[in-house]
Amino acid sequence: MQRPAAPPQGQAAAARAGLDTLINVVYWARMGRRAQPEELSPRQRQALEAVRAFQLRHGYPPTRAELGALLRVSAQTADFHLRALERKGHLSLSRQARAVNFAPAGERSRSLPVVGRVAAGRPLLAVENLDGSLPLPASCGADFALRVQGDSMIEAGILDGDLVLVQKLEQKGREARKGDIVVALVGEGEQVEATVKRYVPERGQVVLRPANSAMRDIVVRKGEPLALAGRVVGVLRLWK
């Protein structure tokens, strides 16, 4: 799905009418919970998936004109679908730029930094590691998102290319518990590596356990460098 170079003919009037503002929509679901959305028409679901896919693929939202181009409809029709989605409780709208998100009406949203490939020797949230941002309801409990590379957690429903939503463990009362899925930083200096694994402390050492029966545990013994960047609280997935 590519960003269109220019809005299709017939959408200029919609842009002048103020419909060509930025749309900011993401999908969020807590680990282990299944959302039960209200019934959507096939066209409404297509609109919802198109905005979600554009946001996750490009790191920024489409305009209404771009959404219309993806759906092969006018910007006015795209706006009609968005308002139907709002009525059904899937998102809230305003007239401002970046004006659509999945936070229910009245709930605050926040922009989470997205970490892509981790550069050796750099802090996890260093500018060099960032790959855009995502707006989410403030209640989601996450502080940043990390793009998953590889299939070590497929049996936990985390696939290559997914974004995991991560809650930092710096605040008092936040700690990793046995069995939590965490983002761990293994090694130090130029050799540090970020990995998503299940956290299993045992007998004075930490086992970072993959959710893939074809892969081996990572065992970090006492005294070896290990830092926990956070606990995974949700997953974002681009439907292809």
Rg of the chain over Cα atoms, rounded to whole angstroms, equals 20
CA 5 from chain centre, in angstroms, equals 25
**Number of residues that make up the chain:** 240
197 catalytic? Reply is: yes
CA distance 187 to 121: 10
Q: Which of 74, 92, 109, 152 is catalytic?
A: 152
178 catalytic? Reply is: no
DSSP type of residue 46:
H
CA distance 37 to 179: 29
CB 208 within 8 A of CB 199: yes
**Residue given tokens 């968005």 in the structure block:** 82
CB 209 within 8 A of CB 197: yes
Q: Which of 74, 92, 109, 197 is catalytic?
A: 197
Which of the residues are catalytic? 152, 197
